[in-house]
Amino acid sequence: MSETTYNGWKNYPTWAVNLWLCNDEGFYREATERVAVIARESESRSEFWTLEESHRYAVAEMLKDFVWDVVLEDERGATLGADLLGWAYDHVDWDEIANAWLADANIPA
């Protein structure tokens, strides 16, 4: 079993992003819909990745972009807030969050 550092998650930024995605109704509905679409669209296997790896990568990238667009878009530029948010964003384990969302949706991860 791997060592966890914050409430069962890799770190605080990872836990916090997943918490907000799960606890805000709008974020939750949007993310759930996007995960379902990705699962349907990534049914084909690549010669390099398994289906599970394809799902995890696609969901991780989608969630990363979704959080950036929704939460961080207004913080672009050279400000203290942007620097702090950028640091936290860069420390999120997007694969860990993707695995959790795929498991909740009963999609192989």
Nearest to residue 84, comparing CAs of 75, 96, 71?
Answer: 75
Question: For 77-97, what is each residue's pLDDT tens digit?
Answer: 667 877 888 889 999 999 999
Q: Could you report how far apart the first and last alpha carbons of the chain are, in Å?
A: 18
Q: For the residues of 1-12, what is the DSSP string, one character each?
A: ----SBTTBSSH
Furthest C-alpha separation in the chain: 44
What pLDDT sits at residue 20?
A: 92
Model confidence over 13-22: pLDDT tens digits? 999 999 999 9
pLDDT value of position 1: 43
pLDDT in tens, 20-70: 999 999 999 999 999 999 877 766 556 788 888 888 999 999 999 999 887
* Integer Cα distance of 74 and 12 in angstroms: 22
Phi and psi at 108, nearest 5°, equal -55, 130
How far is Cα 33 from Cα 49, in angstroms, rounded to an integer?
A: 24
**Cβ-contact 15, 102 below 8 angstroms:** no
